[in-house]
């Protein structure tokens, strides 16, 4: 039995990969817990594992005294000498106890403690193995699902793929192979270390390219940045240390073989590979490809860029639901604002009008203020004095003077807006359908809801025609608070609605003409049908008369000949009549 204990420790150590000393320590701790539970906590007990015999030895230690005061912790000198001839007064003497007295309950306690200690040792080994593997790729098998999380078997340990780190388009079944990115390894007291996996991290994209592209592993090509919208689209920026190696071509591979392998692992996610540039403006233009950028305005203070593109390139630059510009912003690390040339022209025109009213602001200063992000007199009035001082050519006194003048300009502009709003309100109230009727017409237009109608009303626009006739989109967006983009959409929706209403107003006349034509055709058809039926009736009558004449001819040849001649003459006289009448009627119609 003792040799079996040694053998058991050896087998468990090999199976779990746990050091033998750790197992022995766990075994001694378990037996000590069981012994204290059996013999009492007041006793001074120690447990040792005998390597030679393979036995667990339990010792009770007592102090050698001449006179016993506490029998649980003290022993008389004469008894101590019997156990150890060299014992002296005050010594701590260890007395071996019989382990067979522990019983079933104590043995069960020892078993539980031992299992717990072995599990903790196993957890510690797993943590030591995976704590340095953050940012690596691992492959495992999906075993089960818990509250939307996938539990993945990595062989030695189990990892969790949380719902927040799963790609919505991907689904797995128990037994499926999965490749994921080790996002984090948490050391927890209960349940052991938790290995957090991810399928949405940009790190997964980078690691997949490192596996597929040898130039990246060799250090010739470097992935400078990566941005993802998991399951939809990704962008990576690459550079090369060797001028003879094209970083984009190296990542794409022969006939796209390398990038296709990554796309396949990501379940069809589209990947854009763009060349990296140390110049921020060039890098952003590359990230927005294939959009043709007209010019870039950089604001170092806000770490932002204004990207100006042709009108026909705006939707391409923004991408579906803003996807392209959002990924480019993540990739470059800059806040991007993309505008069309026509919109910039409107903003520039509005800036010239507003900023030009400020005392001492000429064309050159307007251009400078515009480049520094000041687009109206209100921006000057609300700006911090330090921001204005930083603008070349203003200075401390000039900044204060400019703000005072801007405040006067803003007050005049607000007064003009209030007067114009009152005029528009009076116009709406005096209309045939009244104010409420005019505002209800907005709800008939697709894309305009109650909130937008309320914002338009707060800005002084109460009717559809008032919005339609407003040429300054920048003013419409700022005064109402709906923004320039929404203002443009509202105007387009109203224009479409008015076109449909105009088309609907023309259609009734066309329909009346069509109805009259259809009625005329119906009358002609009915007349022709009546004439045809009359002709058929006359022919049937003539055929009947002809048959009767033949019968009479059989009886009297002379009478038959006369009757036949009379019938032919009558037919010649009668048959042309309907035809002539029909022709006259058709001509009259």
Return the half-sphere exposure (C-beta side, CA atoms, 13 A cut-off) of residue 489: 10
Q: How far apart are the C-alpha atoms of 444 and 504, rounded to whole Å?
A: 15
Q: How far apart are the C-alpha atoms of 322 and 316, rounded to whole Å?
A: 9
For the CA atoms of the chain, what is the radius of gyration? 49
Partner residues linked to 265 by β-bridges = none
Q: What tokens were used for 539? A: 């022919």
CA 82 to chain CA centroid, Å, is 83
In 315-432, beta strands by DSSP E: 335-340
Interacting residues of 585 by C-beta distance below 8 A, sequence separation 6+ = 527, 531
Q: How far apart are the C-alpha atoms of 421 and 414, rounded to whole Å?
A: 10
Q: Are 443 and 450 in contact (CB under 8 A)?
A: yes
- Which DSSP symbol is given to 243? T
At 523 the pLDDT is 53
At 287 the pLDDT is 93
331: nearest Cα among 234, 209, 238, 227: 227
Q: Are 412 and 381 in contact (CB under 8 A)?
A: no
How does pLDDT run across 192-208, given as a tens digit for each residue?
788 999 999 999 999 99
At 176 the pLDDT is 92
C-alpha torsion angle, residues 12, 14, 15, 16 (rounded to 10): 80
State phi, psi for 276 to the nearest 5 degrees.
-80, 150
- Which DSSP symbol is given to 461? -
At 418 the pLDDT is 85
Parallel, antiparallel, or unpaired: how do β-strands 221-229 and 55-65 relate?
A: unpaired
Q: How far apart are the C-alpha atoms of 503 and 29, rounded to whole Å?
A: 92
H helix and E strand count, the chain: 23, 15
How does pLDDT run across 514-558, given as a tens digit for each residue?
455 555 555 554 444 444 444 444 444 444 344 334 443 334 333
- Which string of DSSP letters, residue by residue, matches 446-459? TT--HHHHHHHHHT
What is the SS3 assignment for 78?
helix
Tell me which H or E stretch contains 507.
Answer: helix 484-555
Domains of the chain (ranges; CATH) run: 2-126 (3.30.1480.10), 131-198 (2.40.50.140)
Q: Which residues of the chain carry a pLDDT beneath 70?
A: 1-6, 14-17, 100-107, 109-111, 189-191, 507-589
Ramachandran sector of residue 268 (left: φ over 0; alpha: ψ -120 to 50; beta: rest): left
At 167 the pLDDT is 92
What is the SS3 assignment for 490?
helix
At 5 the pLDDT is 66
Q: What is the largest CA-CA distance in the chain?
A: 179
238: nearest Cα among 251, 253, 255, 254: 251
CA 575 to chain CA centroid, Å, is 84
Q: How far apart are the C-alpha atoms of 545 and 567, rounded to whole Å?
A: 8
State phi, psi for 170 to the nearest 5 degrees.
-95, 145
């Amino acid at each position: 039995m003792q040799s079996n204990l040694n053998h058991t420790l050896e087998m468990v150590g090999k199976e779990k990969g746990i050091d033998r000393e750790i197992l022995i320590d766990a075994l001694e701790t378990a037996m000590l817990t069981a012994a204290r539970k059996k013999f009492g906590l007041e006793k001074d007990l120690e447990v040792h594992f005998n390597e030679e015999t393979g036995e667990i030895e339990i010792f009770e230690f007592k102090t050698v005294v001449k006179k016993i005061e506490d029998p649980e912790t003290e022993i008389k000198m004469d008894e101590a000498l019997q156990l150890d001839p060299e014992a002296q007064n005050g010594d701590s003497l260890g007395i071996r106890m019989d382990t067979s007295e522990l019983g079933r309950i104590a043995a069960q306690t020892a078993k539980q403690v031992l299992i717990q200690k072995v599990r903790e040792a196993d957890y510690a080994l797993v943590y030591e193995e995976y704590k340095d593997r953050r940012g690596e790729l691992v492959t495992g098998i999906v075993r089960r699902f818990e509250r939307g999380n996938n539990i993945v078997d990595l062989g030695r340990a189990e990892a969790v793929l949380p719902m927040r780190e799963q790609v919505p388009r991907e689904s797995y079944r128990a037994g499926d192979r999965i490749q994921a990115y080790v996002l984090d390894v948490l050391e927890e007291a209960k349940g052991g270390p938790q290995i957090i996996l991810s399928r949405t991290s940009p790190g997964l994209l980078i690691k997949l390219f490192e596996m597929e592209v040898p130039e990246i592993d060799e250090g010739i090509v470097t992935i400078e940045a990566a941005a993802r919208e998991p399951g939809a689209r990704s962008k990576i920026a690459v550079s090369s240390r060797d001028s003879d190696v094209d970083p984009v071509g190296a990542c794409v591979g022969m006939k796209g073989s390398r990038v296709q392998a990554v796309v396949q692992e990501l379940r069809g996610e589209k990947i854009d590979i763009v060349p990296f540039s140390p110049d921020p403006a060039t890098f952003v233009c590359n990230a927005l490809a294939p959009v043709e950028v007209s010019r870039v305005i950089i604001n170092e203070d806000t770490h932002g860029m204004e990207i100006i593109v042709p009108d026909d390139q705006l939707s391409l630059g923004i991408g579906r639901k803003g996807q392209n510009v959002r990924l480019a912003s993540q990739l470059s690390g800059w806040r991007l604002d993309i505008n069309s040339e026509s919109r910039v022209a409107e903003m520039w025109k509005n800036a010239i009008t507003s900023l030009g009213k400020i005392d001492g602001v000429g064309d050159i200063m307007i251009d400078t203020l515009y480049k520094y992000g000041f687009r109206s007199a209100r921006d000057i009035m609300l700006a911090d004095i330090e921001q204005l001082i930083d603008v070349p050519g203003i200075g401390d006194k000039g900044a204060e003077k400019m703000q005072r003048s801007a405040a006067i300009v803003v007050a005049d502009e607000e007064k003009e807006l209030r007067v114009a709003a009152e005029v528009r309100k009076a116009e709406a109230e005096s209309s045939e359908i009244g104010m409420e009727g005019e505002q209800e017409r907005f709800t008939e237009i697709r894309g305009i809801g109650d909130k937008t109608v309320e914002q338009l009303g707060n800005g002084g626009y109460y009717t559809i025609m008032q919005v339609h006739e407003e040429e300054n989109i920048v003013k419409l967006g700022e005064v109402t608070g709906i923004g320039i983009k929404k203002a443009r959409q509202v105007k387009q929706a109203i224009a479409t609605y008015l076109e449909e209403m105009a088309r609907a107003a023309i259609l009734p006349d066309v329909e009346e003409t069509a109805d009259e034509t259809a009625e005329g055709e119906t009358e002609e058809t009915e007349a022709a049908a009546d004439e045809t039926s009359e002709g058929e009736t006359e022919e049937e009558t003539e055929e009947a008369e002809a048959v009767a004449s033949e019968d009479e001819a059989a009886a009297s040849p002379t009478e038959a000949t006369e009757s036949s001649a009379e019938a032919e003459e009558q037919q010649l006289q009668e048959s042309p009549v309907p035809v002539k009448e029909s022709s006259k009627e058709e001509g009259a119609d």
